[in-house]
């Protein structure tokens, strides 16, 4: 098979040189290892090949390499399969085939060819490494361990092989063998923190806590000037309940190096575990006042501090630490985010809003922050800002139903009902799978359309809500009440209102709505009964006025006027209340 390079002559030459360069490298790898300890001897002497056979083998091998370099592993495999048919003593060809089949996820063949390569050349570390990885992939950890042992014999000064062999022991649940290997590593290459921690964990699993502690102390003894090892030992001690010993070590580190941030943070952890929050805060304050303390560490600490803060003092301390973070990282949103979260826990909504807006200056694409800002603006009745920031947020997140909903709420409160409907309609469309948001948008759409006197659209919105949620409080109450005011579909209004009243039998507003529907149905006797129940728990102007209207219809004119007077005094009555009182007549 010939290669068709659609390139200039110069680029073709470069490609050809690259191919042959890699080919030469691979053949070199096949014949010997770069590890000085590995021998290049081949145990199986190659048979004398005729010239035509040798040429055919090299041609197949070279074509396979070209296809491999070009990324066509399947085509490359065909050439190498052809090569081993011609010469079944080429360890290099079997090695490459093992790699190719591994890349094609044919692990059975990858293993077979990799094993053949190592049998043909028992001292090539590259071949053995590949075989070990195949065994490990197949979870044949015992075979992998044996292979790493062979590698160690060939390359005794390669630490990676020892680590891999220890890992295979652990996979086979042979912790004692792993410990022995880690000890060999220490004796051969010196102690280090990674090995010490591995040994400590294994000893802990064997309930040999004191031996684990000795391992940590041994590392300190070997490197007495390395403070990080002392801090690591202290962390191991307090994690395992040895608080006093840990504090002793950490205080020693701080005495020697007052600016050791790790020691101060570890002391804070110990004190926090002991519920000595005052001492913990002192240590944190020392660390946070140091500009060298990085942002990620600060935030990791702050997350826990804020999460666990339950008293005013603890929240104040969290606030102090966060402000120090902002001082050193004034252009990072994370500090402002955290301070905003603290203000929210302290119910300081105005401060939280101001802080979260600062965070958006440095991280405008934070969706959750935008939602929190809009929510705070609504709760703080900053409706003009709410509308402005809704439009800003929509420039970044035009497909988020929640943001459109906030715009709908802001416009509704500002009595721009036409604009409110536009926002809410878009929110409804985008919330196709967010049923809760869709229901909220439809409820407010029903209210807005009612204000626009577009009663068919208003009714349609409420009915769509009730299809999604048959017992939705907002829709049941407002739909039934608006129908009663319009004196339309009164039986439906009664059904809706009764359903809600039964759901909340003690709610005076819902009872008032039901009583008012009965009034419109001219069932004055029952209307009076339910309105009296409503007034027994809530004396609101609108409820008392409704009660006066019922009394008037029942012929109790004097009592009706008295009720109207009381309604006016309470506030919240209709625009006709004064006229009703002065003229002693019913107006609707």
| 384 contacts: CB under 8 Å, gap ≥ 6 | 414
Round to whole Å and give the CA distance between 542 and 390: 34
- The number of beta carbons lying within 10 Å of the beta carbon of residue 173 is 9
Residue whose C-alpha is closest to residue 96's, from 70, 71, 73, 119: 73
Q: How far apart are CA 356 and CA 405, in angstroms?
A: 20
Domain presence at residue 522: no
419-424 CB contacts, 8 Å cutoff, 24+ apart:
420/444, 420/448, 421/445, 421/448, 421/449, 421/452, 423/390, 424/448
The answer to whether 417 and 448 have CB atoms below 8 angstroms apart is yes
Residue 327 lies in a domain: no
Reported as half-sphere exposure (CB side, CA atoms, 13 A), residue 41 has a value of 4
pLDDT in tens, the chain (588 residues): 222 323 333 333 333 343 334 444 454 444 433 333 333 333 333 456 789 899 999 999 999 999 999 999 999 999 999 999 999 999 999 999 999 999 999 999 999 999 999 999 999 999 999 999 999 999 999 999 999 999 999 999 999 999 999 999 999 999 999 999 999 999 999 999 999 999 999 998 999 999 999 999 999 999 999 999 999 999 999 999 999 999 999 999 999 999 999 999 999 999 999 999 999 999 999 999 999 999 999 999 999 999 989 899 999 999 999 999 999 999 999 999 999 999 999 999 999 999 999 999 999 999 999 999 999 999 999 999 999 999 999 999 999 999 999 999 999 999 999 999 999 999 999 998 899 999 999 999 999 999 999 999 999 999 999 999 999 999 999 999 999 999 999 999 999 999 999 999 989 999 999 999 999 999 999 999 999 999 998 889 999 999 999 999 999 999 999 999 999 999 999 999 999 999 999 988
| First-residue to last-residue Cα distance in the chain | 96
Regarding whether 2 and 119 lie in a shared domain, the answer is yes
Tell me if 524 sits within 8 A of 553, measured CB to CB: yes
What pLDDT is attached to residue 47?
53
Give residues with Cβ within 8 angstroms of 535, minimum separation 6. 508, 543, 544, 547
Distance (Å, whole) CA 390 – CA 13: 61
Asked whether residue 329 is assigned to any structural domain, the reply reads no
Residue 235: which CATH number? 1.25.40.10
The answer to whether residues 149 and 242 belong to one domain is no
Same domain, 229 and 135: no
Number of domains in the chain: 2
Collect all residues with Cβ–Cβ distance below 8 Å to 79 and sequence separation of at least 6: 60, 61, 63, 64, 67
Q: pTM here?
A: 0.72
The alpha carbon of residue 382 and the mean position of all alpha carbons in its chain are separated, in whole angstroms, by 31
Residue 141 lies in a domain: yes
d(CA 99, CA 107): 10
Q: Which of 270, 293, 316 is the last residue of a domain?
A: 293
**Structure tokens belonging to residue 213:** 């502690």
Task: Using alpha carbons, select from 379, 413, 428, 373 the residue that is nearest to residue 396.
Answer: 373
Phi and psi, residue 212, nearest 5°: -65, -40
**Are 149 and 255 members of one domain?**
no
Question: What DSSP character marks residue 571?
Answer: S
Q: DSSP letter string over 281-326?
A: HHHHHHHHTSTTS-HHHHHHHHHHHHHH--SHHHHHHHHHHHHHHH
Q: What is the CA radius of gyration of the chain?
A: 40
DSSP 35: S
Q: Is residue 462 part of a domain?
A: no
Residues 282 and 298: their CA atoms lie apart, in Å, by: 15
> Running DSSP on this structure, what letter comes out for residue 447?
H
In this structure, are 231 and 128 located in the same domain?
no
Residue 153 sits in the same domain as residue 229: no
How far apart are the C-alpha atoms of 354 and 104, rounded to whole Å?
56
Encoding tokens for residue 275?
């519920």
Question: Is residue 48 included in any domain, yes or no?
Answer: yes
Say how far apart CA 412 and CA 410 lie, in whole Å. 5
Q: Is 253 found in the same domain as 110?
A: no
Structural contact between residues 217 and 233, judged by C-beta atoms closer than 8 angstroms: yes
Q: What's the CA gap between 278 and 299, in Å, rounded?
A: 20
What span, in angstroms and rounded, lies between the C-alpha atoms of 91 and 116? 7
* Residue 404 counted as domain residue: no
Does residue 130 share a domain with residue 5? yes
Identify the domain containing residue 282 by its residue range. Answer: 225-293
Give the CA diameter of the chain: 129
Whether residue 474 is contained in a domain is answered as: no
Q: Which of 131, 157, 183 is the last residue of a domain?
A: 157
Mark whether 6 and 131 lie in a shared domain: yes
- Select from 276, 293, 310 the last residue of a domain: 293
- For residues 242 and 93, membership in a common domain is answered with no
* Residues near 108 by beta carbon (within 8 Å), at least 6 away in sequence: none
Please count the helices (runs of H) and the strands (runs of E) in the chain: 32, 0
Question: In whole angstroms, what is the distance from residue 512 CA to residue 211 CA?
Answer: 76
- Clarify whether residues 232 and 117 are in a common domain: no
- Using the CB atoms, write b or e for 397-409: b if 16+ within 10 Å: eeebbbbbbbbbb
430's tokens: 């985008």
Q: Are residues 143 and 26 in the same domain?
A: yes
């Amino acid at each position: 098979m010939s290669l068709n390079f659609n390139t200039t002559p110069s680029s073709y030459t470069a490609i050809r040189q690259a191919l042959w360069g890699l080919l030469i490298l691979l053949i070199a790898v096949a014949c010997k290892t770069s590890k000085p300890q590995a021998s290049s001897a081949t145990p199986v002497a190659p048979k004398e090949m005729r010239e035509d056979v040798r040429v055919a083998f090299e041609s197949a091998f070279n074509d396979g390499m070209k296809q491999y370099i070009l990324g066509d592993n399947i085509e490359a495999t065909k050439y190498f399969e052809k090569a081993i048919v011609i010469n079944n003593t080429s360890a290099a060809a079997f090695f490459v085939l093992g790699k190719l089949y591994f890349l094609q996820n044919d692990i059975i063949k990858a293993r077979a060819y990799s094993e053949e390569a190592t049998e043909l050349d028992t001292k090539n570390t590259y071949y053995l490494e590949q075989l070990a990885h195949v065994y490990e992939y197949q979870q044949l950890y015992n075979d992998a361990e044996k292979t790493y042992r062979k590698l160690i014999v060939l390359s005794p000064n390669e630490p990676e092989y020892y680590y891999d062999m220890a890992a295979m022991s652990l996979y086979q649940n042979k912790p004692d063998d792993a410990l022995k290997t880690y000890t060999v590593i220490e004796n051969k290459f010196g102690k280090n923190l990674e090995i010490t921690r591995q040994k400590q964990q294994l000893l802990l699993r064997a309930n040999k806590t004191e031996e684990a502690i000795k391992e940590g102390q041994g590392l300190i003894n070997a490197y007495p000037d390395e403070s990080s090892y002392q801090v690591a030992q202290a962390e191991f001690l307090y994690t395992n309940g040895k608080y006093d010993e840990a504090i002793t070590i950490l205080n020693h580190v701080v005495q020697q190096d007052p600016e050791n941030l790790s020691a101060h943070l570890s002391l804070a952890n110990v004190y926090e575990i002991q519920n000595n929050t005052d001492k913990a805060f002192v240590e944190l304050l020392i660390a946070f006042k140091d500009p060298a303390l990085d942002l990620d560490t600060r935030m990791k600490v702050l997350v826990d501090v804020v999460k666990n803060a339950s008293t005013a003092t603890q929240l104040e301390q969290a606030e102090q630490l966060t402000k120090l973070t902002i001082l050193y990282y004034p252009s990072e949103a994370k500090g402002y985010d955290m301070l905003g979260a603290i203000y929210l826990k302290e119910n300081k909504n105005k401060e939280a809003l101001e802080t979260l807006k600062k965070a958006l200056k440095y991280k405008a694409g934070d969706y959750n922050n935008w939602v929190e800002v809009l929510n705070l603006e609504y709760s703080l009745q900053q409706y003009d800002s709410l509308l402005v920031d809704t439009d800003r947020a929509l420039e970044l997140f035009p497909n988020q139903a929640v943001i459109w909903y906030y715009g709908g709420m802001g416009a509704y409160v500002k009595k721009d009902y036409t604009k409110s409907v536009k926002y809410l309609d878009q929110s409804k469309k985008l919330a196709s799978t967010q049923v809760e948001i869709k229901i909220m948008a439809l409820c407010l759409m029903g209210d807005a359309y009612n204000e626009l006197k577009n009663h068919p659209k208003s009714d349609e919105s409420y009915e769509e809500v009730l299809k999604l949620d048959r017992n939705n409080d907002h829709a049941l109450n407002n739909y039934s009440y608006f129908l009663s005011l319009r004196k339309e579909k009164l039986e439906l209004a009664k059904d809706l209102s009764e359903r809600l009243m039964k759901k909340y039998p003690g709610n005076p507003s819902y009872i008032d709505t039901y009583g008012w529907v009965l009034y419109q149905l001219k069932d004055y006797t029952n209307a009076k009964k339910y309105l009296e129940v409503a007034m027994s728990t809530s004396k609101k102007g609108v409820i008392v006025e409704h009660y006066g209207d019922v009394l008037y219809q029942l012929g109790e004119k004097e009592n009706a006027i008295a009720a109207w007077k009381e309604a006016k005094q309470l506030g919240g009555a209709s625009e006709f209340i004064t006229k009703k009182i002065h003229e002693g007549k019913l107006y609707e």
